[in-house]
Amino acid sequence: MHTLPAVTEPLTTKSRSEMIEITKLVQRHVQINRVTDGMVIVYVPHTTAAVTINENADPDVKHDLLRKLDALIPKAETYYQHGEGNSDSHLKTSMLGNSVTVLIERGKLILGTWQGIQFCEFDGPRTRSVLIKIVSFDRPTSD
């Protein structure tokens, strides 16, 4: 068992709220490093952007999810004290979470049929980054 250094991947977002699927990006690192058995931790180092695992097919799900989050947690509340006007973005981030753990077996991410890894921007547009850390459970080879 060993680990690979965490890799930072840049992301550019285009809207205030947006979900960007990064499944292939993560899978690519698993393949490049020829990890057969292990796990990957996808970690967002921001406080107004999150990562979640959800629908990879119909983009309407992303629309509905973001729209409903905005309805529940609008940008402004009379009692908000934080001066940057993004308190809603902070709460959405904590609700969805800033990291996910995905298992790797036979060189592939274990994901359900409809699951994709979704980076969630809640205070864009911005330049963001995501950390990909692979923990390999393979025995070290002597090649």
Asked if residue 91 binds a second copy (CB under 8 A), the reply is yes
Which of 60/143 has CB closer to a second copy?
60
Residue 23 interacting with a second copy (CB under 8 A): no
Closest to 134 measured CA to CA, from 108, 96, 98, 97:
108
| Nearest of 82, 20, 84 to residue 54 by alpha carbon | 20
Binding to a second copy (CB under 8 A) within 103-142 occurs at: 103, 105, 110-115, 131, 133, 135, 137
Q: How far is the CB of 31 from a second copy (least distance, A)?
A: 19
Binding string, residues 42-71; x marks residues near a second copy by CB under 8 A: -xxxxx----xxxx--x-xx-xxx-xxx-x
The window from 10-18, 28-36, 76-84 that contacts a second copy (CB under 8 A) reads: 76-84
How far apart CA 93 and CA 103 sit, in angstroms, is: 23
In the set 41, 75, 107, 126, which binds a second copy (CB under 8 A)?
41
- Strand 115-121 and strand 18-21: the pairing is antiparallel
Rounded to 5°, the CA angle 49-51-56 comes to 125
Burial class, 133, CB count within 10 angstroms (exposed 0-12 / middle 13-18 / buried 19+): middle
Quote the strand ranges of 1-114, DSSP E: 2-3, 7-12, 18-21, 38-43, 49-55, 99-105, 108-109
Q: Which residues bind a second copy (CB under 8 A)?
A: 1-3, 5-6, 37, 39, 41, 43-47, 52-55, 58, 60-61, 63-65, 67-69, 71-73, 77, 79-84, 87-88, 90-91, 93-101, 103, 105, 110-115, 131, 133, 135, 137
